[in-house]
Every structure is written in structure tokens, then in C-alpha cells.
Copies of this chain bind each other. A is one copy, B any other.
């Protein structure tokens, strides 16, 4: 399993991914799922991947090969075309591998998140489906997730706003979201890779790996637990009534002897 997350706000982008891959329950490894594609001053892009490591690795290899040769993600003029470049490579690998996988009842299930900015075009965030088609995050839905997305979603729904959330806050939301997911699904695990991109900087502003015992990450989870419990205590109490007599009686017959 995997959990990857991209947040876009007016200030820029936060992209984060766990690093656990597993083939069955008894084979877990560490693998990087966050890959930067940067030409400082010209373009800064980051991909996140979920799904079969073998297939997503192939897509990344093709993207990196083209990028190094000045093609593909190094050559397109805007983020929509960049998302289409990722989609093309996803389709290329699908064409090579899908039939063989499906013959053995395995799915071609590679998902990508792509975030970044190229030149004077706006910073954008995309999800690319296994079929290669792209979906863009919007001001109304300013985040995208792939992999094990449910545990980490409520905090994003409740907290992240395109206009109001600073990147510094978005970093915290991303770490809380990943922390919640790692706690509930052992197939999502540390280290966590994170990239932070400030709009119009055209470079990767921050890139950090949070290792298993990272003190910042641990402290944040602990403080978050404490803050939540405190917040619950301060919520107003809910008025609860005794059950209505009628309903109580309906199910309250004495058992017969």
C-alpha cells in the first residue's frame, strides 16, 4: 500500500509520500515514491506514485530518461501538457505490461500525482489515472490523494483552504494526514518524503525525509494527539435526553416465565 498527498494553495504546493512498499504481508521494503524534476529558474515539478512498484518505476525511468535528454517534462510549456506527458508514459507502460498482469489476475493500477510550475504559467496540481487521463485540483478541492486515502482525508476536508491555508500550515496538515494513515494501516509506513514549492520560485524550496524516529515528526504526532483531546474537552456538551417512555416500553417487556 501507499499514501501520497498533494496540497495546492495560493502560496504554492506541498507534496508528500510514505516510503513503504509491500508484496504481500511478509515482504515490506523502503522505496522512494517522490521524484523531483527541476531546472532551477525555469521549472520545478514533483511526481508522487502509487500502485505496483514495478510499473510506476518503469514510468519514472522513462520520464527521467526523457528529462535528462531535454524532452518530455523538460520541454513542455505548462502543467497541463506536463500531466499529459506523464499520462503518455503511463499508457506506454500499460501497453507493455497490462495484458501479462491481467492474465495473472493482477491490475495495472499505477496512479500519479504531479505538482509544480513551469515558467510564467500557474502552479498546478494533477492526478493522473492508470488510464493516463489527468484531473486537476481546484480552489474548491485543493488537494489530491492516491493510495490509502480515507484515513488521512477528514483533517484535510476540515482544515485545508486554497486561499486561507499557508504553506507552513499545509506542511502540518500533510504530516498529520500521513501520521493518521500510518497509524491505521501498517502497509503505509515511514520514512516520509516531503517537497515544498513556493509559487513562482521555480526551484524546489524544501525537500525533507522524515525517518522512522524523526523527532519533529514524532513530536508533531504527540502534540497533535494532546491538542485533539484538549479540543474535544472544550467542545460544548451535547444535551442528551432519557429515552422516550413509549419507545423504552416497546422493548422493555419482562420476559415471560
Contact = CB atoms under 8 A, between A and B. Distances in A.
Interface in A233-257: 233-244, 247-248, 251-257
- In the complex, the 10 A-B pairs of residues with the closest C-beta atoms, listed nearest first: A70-B255, A150-B150, A206-B240, A154-B180, A207-B243, A227-B231, A74-B255, A70-B256, A158-B225, A38-B252
A24 interface: no
A206 B243 contact: yes
Given A39-B255, A232-B159, A244 B69 contact: no
Q: How many copies does the complex hold?
A: 2
A240 B171 contact: yes
21 contacts: A36-B247, A39-B252, A39-B254, A67-B253, A154-B180, A154-B183, A154-B184, A157-B183, A157-B184, A159-B229, A171-B240, A172-B232, A172-B235, A176-B232, A204-B243, A206-B240, A207-B243, A216-B236, A216-B238, A220-B238, A227-B235
Contacts of A169: 232-233
A248 to B, nearest CB: 6
Given A39-B255, A168-B237, A176-B232, 5 more contacts: A69-B255, A173-B232, A220-B238, A223-B236, A227-B235
Interface string A168-201: 1101110110001101100000000010100000
A253 B153 CA distance: 36
Interface in A129-183: 150-155, 157-159, 168-169, 171-173, 175-176, 180-181, 183
A225 B158 CA distance: 5
A13 to B, nearest CB: 13
A232 B165 CA distance: 11
Contacts of A36: 243, 247-248, 251
Interface residues of A, number: 74
A80 interface: no
